[in-house]
Chain A
Amino acid sequence: MKWLLYACKNLLRNRRRTLMALVITGVGSAAAVVGGGFALFTYQSLREVSARDTGHVVVAARGGFDGDEDVPMQHGLAGAPALAKELEALPGVRAVLPRIQFSGLISNGDKSAVFIGTGIEPEEDFRLRGVQLKFVDGEPFDAGRSVPEIAIGRELARTMKAKVGSGLTLLATTTEGNLNAVDVVVRGIVGTGVPDIDKRIVMADVGAVQKLLLTDKVSTLSVYLKDIDATGGAAAAVAAAHPALEVRTWLDLAVFYQSVKALYNRIFGMLGVIMLVIVLFAVSNTIGMAVAERTREIGTLRAIGALPGEIVRNFVLEGAAIGAGGALTGIAAAGAVTLALIFAGLQMPPPPGRSNGYPLLIVFSPGLCAATAAAVAAVSALAAWAASRRAARKPIPEALAHV
């Protein structure tokens, strides 16, 4: 503690120089915390969206995820209602929802277009997806209507000249390889935020889709958990209980999330490295000048019995104090930025391939702050070590004669 006190006193010898070093390390730390916080916010948001889209744990029959199908539902999951009941009984499970992935043509009588459809249990599915699926017109459809209701993407609706209440026809290949068709009514028009998906997406009641495809199977069962962090354990439990089935987690299926995370990790990782290099040079310069000015003092302390390592330790403490002080200042500034962004309500522009922007917010993560402070303090200490070790080993008479 005494040595730390001396280190702080020494830093006050040249206040302007110390202040400059503190400002540089502070700005670097703030940039790292803000940048990292933005990345964390993005990861958290995408994680939530991805998990809501697929379910936390997804169960399919063998080949249901990757197997090629000669006819629709060749690798479909039979006995889905019983299995869903069984899975719902597992601890931590919020809901188990069947899904059918299918495709075909959608027609308004005058023209047709390819669609990619999903059969869902509408009430639960729309509730669990929450705000992720935005209805630009109409509302969620109901199951069990005599004329099935659907929701379609906004671009597909424009192509089909369809509005809420319009009648359309879905054509698809059945499980027997024949063509089948069903008349449907548009109940809602949705925007996913991805124009390419909005051009193709159709959502229909799973029962109606099963009638269209002439099957009682489903493609997958999506298991929604109360806690996303329980995904790994739940997936393992399901896989252990049903070894004949294939089990994937939302993370396995979240290609976009993983791509964004890999990209951001590189971008913000590089930003962090650049910040640390700047801190390294700033502290190195500050301590280097202090060492040069205090060479005679170093000689004196060495003469009265300080080991070179003890001299270096004192400078390392000074460097670490600059790093820690700068990091704390920067973290406080980042906290202020976090609050300001909450109140400012700024929006980021839509990412490439998307039509919706998203709020510019950052996560003020204690873990990130601690890691930043530790890294900045460590780099500052390292810089001080590098700047002082040679002077600490200078011959004592030479150091004492230094002017």
Chain B
Amino acid sequence: MSAAAVVRVEDVTKRYGSGAAAVEALRGVTFEAAPGELIALTGPSGSGKSTLLNLCGLIDAPDRGRRLVEGAPVNGCGEAELTRLRRERIGFVFQGFNLVPVMTARDNVEYPLLLLGVPQPERGRRVAEALARVGLEGFGERLPDALSGGQRQRVAIARALVKSPRLIIADEPTGNLDSATAAQIVDLLRDLTHEHGAAAVVATHDDRMTGHCDRVVRLVDGRLQ
């Protein structure tokens, strides 16, 4: 085990359903992500990519095995503690952007800082920096509906980065984007990961994405290959 791993899962198993209808999404998977590492998680549909992302992102719990965040086991943590860890250390980017439609780009990016209780002057500065970093200066007052798909995904990335997370979880971040925009998003994620020293785990089917990652991990039938 790497002592520096931002997140590590050890021998985790996850099963959905029960009895004859049970499906084993993950079967004894061990995986870790180091700081500054951009990892592509690939595999066919139903291979367990999203499940592994959920376990790494602390939004789901394994049936067996253990998880560690920066060396500390989190298996025994309650919901409040897991939420606190997500709030402080983990950023999420979703395939469908998942922006709040009634909030402007600035408000969407600000949301995690509100949850963290960051005071206003600093909040405004960090939001402006995050939007500038993803190339959306001057777009802060726009609602998501007034942005293109690529711009929305940039807002989502800014939302994930604004709190300077240790881990970024991205589920098919380029799935809804054209090639040129997808390349920009991939470059952005890679640059940000390397600059901030955060680990990023990206589930993707997209070969354009895997070529830019530091490491590619393939899952088939719930097992790492």
**Least CB distance, B114 to chain A, in whole angstroms:** 6
CB contacts under 8 Å to B, within A285-337, are 296-297, 300-308, 310
**How far is A307 from B86 in the complex, measured between Cα atoms in Å?**
10
> Would you list which residues of chain A between 1 and 49 have a CB under 8 Å from chain B?
2, 6, 9-10, 12-13
6 nearest A-B pairs in the assembled complex, by CB-CB distance: A305-B87, A9-B102, A396-B59, A300-B98, A305-B86, A305-B115
Question: In terms of DSSP, what is the predominant structure of the interface of chain B?
Answer: helix
Contacts of B159 in A (CB 8 A): 304
**Distance in angstroms between the alpha carbons of A302 and B107 in the assembled complex:** 16
- Nearest residue (CB) in B for A309 is B80
| Contact (Cβ within 8 A) A305 B54 | no
Most buried by B among A9, A297, A305, A400: A305
Q: Which of A2, A13, A296 has the most CB of B within 10 A?
A: A2
Asked if B136 is at the interface of the complex by the 8 Å CB criterion, the answer is no
A303 touching B103, Cβ below 8 Å:
no
Could you tell me if B54 and A10 are in contact, using CB atoms closer than 8 angstroms? no
Whether A307 contacts B80 by the Cβ 8 Å rule is yes
- Contact partner of A302 (CB less than 8 A), chosen from B59, B116, B160, is B59
**Which candidate, B31-39, B88-96, B188-196, B212-220, is the interface stretch facing chain A?**
B88-96
Contacts of B84 in A (CB 8 A): 305
Q: Does B146 contact A (CB under 8 A)?
A: no
A145 to chain B, nearest CB (A): 84
Residue in A6, A301, A304, A307 whose CB lies within 8 Å of B102: A6
Q: Are B54 and A397 in contact (CB under 8 A)?
A: yes
Interchain residue pairs with CB less than 8 A apart (26): A2-B114, A6-B107, A10-B102, A297-B98, A300-B92, A301-B100, A302-B59, A303-B57, A303-B59, A304-B86, A304-B91, A305-B84, A305-B87, A305-B112, A305-B115, A305-B116, A306-B83, A306-B87, A307-B80, A395-B60, A396-B59, A397-B50, A397-B59, A397-B60, A400-B59, A400-B94
Q: Does B139 contact A (CB under 8 A)?
A: no
Residue of A nearest to B100 (CB): A297
- Find residues 120-152 in chain A having any chain B CB closer than 8 Å to their own CB: none
State whether the Cβ of B101 lies closer than 8 Å to any Cβ in chain A: yes
**Count of A-B residue pairs with CB < 8 Å:** 62
Interface of A is mostly: helix
- Please give, as numbers and ranges, the residues of chain B lying within 8 Å of A303 by CB-CB distance: 57, 59, 86, 92
Chain B residues with CB under 8 Å of A307's CB are: 80, 83
Q: Is the CB of B100 within 8 A of A305?
A: no
How near does chain B come to A398, taking the closest CB pair, in angstroms?
9
Interface size class of A (residues with CB under 8 A): 20 to 34
- A residues less than 8 Å from B57 (CB atoms): 303
- Distance between Cα atoms of A10 and B102 in the complex (Å): 6
Task: Tell me the A180-231 residues at the B interface (CB within 8 Å).
Answer: none
Q: Is the CB of A305 within 8 A of B80?
A: no
**Cα of A303 to Cα of B94 in the assembled complex, Å:** 11
Residue of B nearest to A395 (CB): B60
Residue in B50, B80, B91, B94 whose beta carbon sits within 8 Å of that of A300 in the complex? B94
Task: Give Cα distance in the complex from A296 to B100, angstroms.
Answer: 10
Q: Which residues of chain B are within 8 angstroms of A396 by Cβ–Cβ distance?
A: 54, 59-60
B60/A304 in contact, CB under 8 A: no
Q: Is the CB of B88 within 8 A of A305?
A: yes
Chain A 366-400 residues near chain B, CB threshold 8 A: 395-397, 400
- Beta-carbon nearest neighbor of B156 in chain A: A300
Q: List the B side residues contacting A297 at CB < 8 Å.
A: 98, 100
Closest to B171 in A: A400
In whole Å, how far is A239's beta carbon from the nearest beta carbon of chain B? 60
- Which residue of B is nearest A305, CB measured? B87
- B50 to chain A minimum Cβ distance, whole angstroms, is 8
Bound-complex Cα distance A214 to B83 (A): 91
User: In the bound complex, what is the Cα–Cα distance between A2 and B90 (angstroms)?
Assistant: 23
- Which of chain A's residues have a CB closer than 8 A to the CB of B88? 305
The reply to whether A310 and B115 form a contact with Cβ atoms under 8 Å apart is yes
Given A396-B60, A397-B60, CB of A304 within 8 Å of CB of B101: no
Cα–Cα distance between A275 and B124 once the two chains are bound (Å): 44
Distance between B158 CB and nearest chain A CB, rounded to angstroms: 12
Residue in B59, B103, B107, B115 with the greatest tally of chain A CB atoms within 10 Å:
B59
CB-contacts of B107-133 with A (<8 A): 107, 111-112, 114-116
- Which residues does chain B contribute within 8 Å of A395, judged by CB atoms? 60
The residues of B that contact A304 with a CB separation of less than 8 Å are 86-87, 91-92, 111-112, 115, 159-160
CA of A396 to CA of B87, assembled, Å: 14
Q: Which residues of B lie under 8 Å from residue A302 when comparing CB positions?
A: 59, 83
B59 close to A306 (CB less than 8 A): no
Q: Which residue of A lies closest to B84 (CB)?
A: A305
B187 to chain A, nearest CB (A): 23
- On whether the beta carbons of B115 and A306 are closer than 8 Å, the reply is yes
B10-53 Cβ-contact flags toward A at 8 Å (1 or 0): 00000000000000000000000000000000000000001000
